[in-house]
Structure 1
Amino acid sequence: MSALEIENIRKTYGKTEILKDIDISLDSGEFLVLLGSSGCGKSTLLNIIAGLTEASGGDIRIDGRSMLGVHPKDRDIAMVFQSYALYPNLTVHRNIGFGLEMRGVRADDRERAVRETARLLQIESLLDRKPSQLSGGQRQRVAIGRALVRQPKIFLFDEPLSNLDAKLRMEMRAELKRLHRLLRTTVVYVTHDQIEAMTLASQIAVMRDGRIEQLGTPEEIYNHPATLYVATFVGAPPMNLLKTEVREGTLAVTGGESSLPIPQSLRASLREGQDVIVGIRPEAFRLDDGEGLSISARCELAELTGPELIMMADMQGQRVVASLPPQSRVGPGDILRLHFDNAAMHLFDATSGKRIAT
């Protein structure tokens, strides 16, 4: 039995559809990330799971039990919000244990649970402080501890790291990963940050305009994007998209004389004259003269980020971005041959935006 089942969930406000037939089944202990840009419906879906928003149609089941009409406090879930929402007049100890206190848990049991939670989160030395005496990362740990101490069936996180700086976000990602590996609790996590999604999730649901564009493991989402939207949303820098047309058994690059071979496994899926988008990840390019395919491009800009050199180039009027080793010697105006393997090509139908599969 799945820990969480989301079945045909719809949400409308008047004539505006916010969620459109969302279906997800999540096994116990999985970490699901709802990934998408602002306004795609991911936080609305999280609120429906929590019972804070009522769905217009469909059902939510936790451990096989329908949540229709069930009050949020009776769903055995815990939620961590973007804002820490700590009680400023209470100590860390009281903040973590407040929910247990309101439920009438005995003082000694409450003390034991708070101490164990603080140990897991490595904030034992902060229990006597108040929120105003804590850093942003420490406050977020306390907010997580307040949810963790209840030992719920499902954790819900609504962009919990977005208020932290880059270094703290990286530290808290590692902390969440460690806690999930230790506790194996089912998690649903909302974010627009693809790095968070790729590093934390066991399953990613990429959402767009109230629908799920693709649901799969991080490896599936990255290596086999189902649509052009997924291909460009996941990956930094995003995937290069080259406009081509099927012409005499090749993929003729729009606006120039270059062409690329059609992978043998996809020949039967294409037709003469079809407009095809060829996707190539920036890190798939290399400057050496090894085996494989290549394109010619003129460097327009090269930026050293430290671990890599990001080069933006022009290929017959189309923008190409390559992620190269930091020691690469390239500069504006250089004409380069960018090599890549056949397997690095992702083909999409230009009309539907869907991946062309065998």
Structure 2
Amino acid sequence: MSALEIRNIHKRYGEVETLKGIDIALDSGEFLVLLGSSGCGKSTLLNIIAGLAEPSGGDILIGERSVLGVHPKDRDIAMVFQSYALYPNMSVARNIGFGLEMRKVPPAEREKAVRETAKLLQIENLLERKPSQLSGGQRQRVAIGRALVRNPQVFLFDEPLSNLDAKLRMEMRTELKRLHQMLKTTIVYVTHDQIEAMTLATRIAVMREGRIEQLGTPEEIYDRPETLYVAGFVGSPPMNILDAEVTGRGLKLDGCEEILPLPASFKSAAAGRPVKVGIRPEVLRLAADSPGPRLMARVEVVELTGPELVTTAIVGKQRIIASLPPRTALSMGSTHAFTFDEASLHLFDPGSGRSLRAA
């Protein structure tokens, strides 16, 4: 049984189509992240699931029941907003339990549920405070508690961590991961932050211009991107995308004399065909005496981030980025040979943007 099924959802605003046929089926307990840049349609899709917007076509099923036309409060969902949306004049305890109060849950049962939820979120000592007396992370915990206490079939999160600083975002990611592993709840989570997507999701839907570019596990999205867009969007630093041509001897990068081997998974690519070659920065390493294919590159910029040395270099007429160990001895303007495992290469069709990997 699917906890949530999104069937061929379209959304139009006049002549503008913002969702162009979205299909996703979620099993109970899955954590789906809708990932994409601003304007890709992810928040519109979340609002349609929540009942805050109606689709122009398609259907939404929660627990195999169509909820089109059903009021948001009757959909058995709970939503956590970016802005927390707490009642400033109410205590934390009443904010958490207000939904139960509106549903006429008896006071004793309501108080028990609030205290159990507060314990789960480690905010028992905050129950008598007002939202103005809380930090950003504490307010987000209260907003999550208000959703959890209702025990709905599906939880919806709309960029809930975007207002927090980097340290708090990391802490709250860990907290959300812990809660999901404990409660096995079904979650749909919207973000433009790929780190949130990769760390939280059981599946990621990468969205672009109202369509799903790729749907898969974090490992599938990262290791086997199906399109140039996914390859370039997911990863920090992003995947290097280089212009090349398939020759009888292998891959010839534009502006380079070196011939790279053609990986076995792309042997069907015909000689003379232009391609885009993708190389993740972290697979590149200084060749030294290491075996494997080599690229001669002139170092242009070196940036120490702490855990890695992010190096920008010129290969022929194209730039590449390499993520190297922090104590690597490099200087700007020097030339080095970089190597990599040929199986880590990705090939894409320049016209369609689709991966050329054999099925």
- 1:311 is aligned to 311
Task: Name which of structure 1's ranges 108-117 and 345-354 shifts more when overlaid on structure 2.
Answer: 345-354
> Residues 199-228 of structure 1, C-alpha deviation per residue, up to 9 Å, x if partnerless?
000000000000000000000000000001
Task: State the Cα distance separating 1:290 from its structure 2 match.
Answer: 1.5
The 8 Å contact of residues 36 and 191 in structure 2, kept in 1 or not, is answered as yes
> Residues 314-333 of structure 1, C-alpha deviation per residue, up to 9 Å, x if partnerless?
11110100000011000101
SS of the residue corresponding to residue 39 of structure 2 reads coil
CA distance in 1, matches of 2:222, 2:212: 15
Task: State the Cα distance separating 1:255 from its structure 2 match.
Answer: 2.1
The 8 Å contact of residues 35 and 205 in structure 1, kept in 2 or not, is answered as yes
CA distance in 2, matches of 1:345, 1:201: 25
> Residues 268-318 of structure 1, C-alpha deviation per residue, up to 9 Å, x if partnerless?
2x1222111110100001114222212010000111111110000011110
- 2:26 is aligned to 26
- 2:5 is aligned to 5
The 8 Å contact of residues 284 and 324 in structure 2, kept in 1 or not, is answered as yes
Task: State the Cα distance separating 1:252 from its structure 2 match.
Answer: 1.2
> Residues 36-69 of structure 1, C-alpha deviation per residue, up to 9 Å, x if partnerless?
0000000000000001000000000011111111
CA distance in 2, matches of 1:242, 1:259: 13
Divergent runs of 4+, >4 A: none
CA distance in 2, matches of 1:283, 1:247: 26
SS of the residue corresponding to residue 110 of structure 2 reads helix
* Residue identity matched to 1:22: I
- 1:102 is aligned to 102
> Residues 86-124 of structure 1, C-alpha deviation per residue, up to 9 Å, x if partnerless?
111111011101111111100000000000000000000
- 1:69 is aligned to 69
- 1:148 is aligned to 148
- 2:245 is aligned to 245
The 8 Å contact of residues 346 and 357 in structure 2, kept in 1 or not, is answered as no
CA distance in 1, matches of 2:100, 2:23: 33
- 1:180 is aligned to 180
Q: Percent identity?
A: 69
Matched, 1:286 2:278: no
Task: Name which of structure 1's ranges 235-244 and 62-71 shifts more when overlaid on structure 2.
Answer: 62-71
SS of the residue corresponding to residue 2 of structure 2 reads coil
- 1:38 is aligned to 38
CA distance in 1, matches of 2:265, 2:43: 40
What's the TM-score once normalised by structure 1's chain length?
0.98
- 2:161 is aligned to 161
* Residue identity matched to 2:170: M
CA distance in 2, matches of 1:21, 1:337: 46
- 1:89 is aligned to 89
The 8 Å contact of residues 7 and 59 in structure 1, kept in 2 or not, is answered as yes
CA distance in 2, matches of 1:302, 1:113: 54
CA distance in 2, matches of 1:247, 1:235: 29
CA distance in 2, matches of 1:266, 1:305: 35
The 8 Å contact of residues 249 and 259 in structure 2, kept in 1 or not, is answered as no
SS of the residue corresponding to residue 59 of structure 2 reads strand
SS of the residue corresponding to residue 177 of structure 1 reads helix
The 8 Å contact of residues 291 and 341 in structure 1, kept in 2 or not, is answered as no
Q: Structure 2, unaligned stretches of length 5 or more?
A: none
SS of the residue corresponding to residue 3 of structure 1 reads strand
CA distance in 1, matches of 2:283, 2:212: 27
* Residue identity matched to 2:306: G
- 2:273 is aligned to 274
CA distance in 1, matches of 2:289, 2:39: 45
> Residues 182-202 of structure 1, C-alpha deviation per residue, up to 9 Å, x if partnerless?
110100000000000000000
CA distance in 1, matches of 2:150, 2:321: 47
SS of the residue corresponding to residue 285 of structure 2 reads coil
CA distance in 2, matches of 1:10, 1:141: 33
* Residue identity matched to 1:73: K
Task: State the Cα distance separating 1:254 from its structure 2 match.
Answer: 1.0
Map of 1:186-265 to 2, 5 A cutoff?
186-265=186-265
Task: State the Cα distance separating 1:251 from its structure 2 match.
Answer: 1.3
CA distance in 2, matches of 1:264, 1:161: 42
* Residue identity matched to 2:211: R
Task: State the Cα distance separating 1:238 from its structure 2 match.
Answer: 0.2
- 1:112 is aligned to 112
Task: State the Cα distance separating 1:248 from its structure 2 match.
Answer: 2.4
- 1:51 is aligned to 51
* Residue identity matched to 1:48: I
The 8 Å contact of residues 275 and 351 in structure 1, kept in 2 or not, is answered as no
- 1:338 is aligned to 338
Task: State the Cα distance separating 1:246 from its structure 2 match.
Answer: 1.4
CA distance in 2, matches of 1:112, 1:218: 37
Task: State the Cα distance separating 1:343 from its structure 2 match.
Answer: 1.0
What's the TM-score once normalised by structure 2's chain length?
0.98
* Residue identity matched to 2:153: K
SS of the residue corresponding to residue 267 of structure 2 reads helix
CA distance in 2, matches of 1:312, 1:152: 48
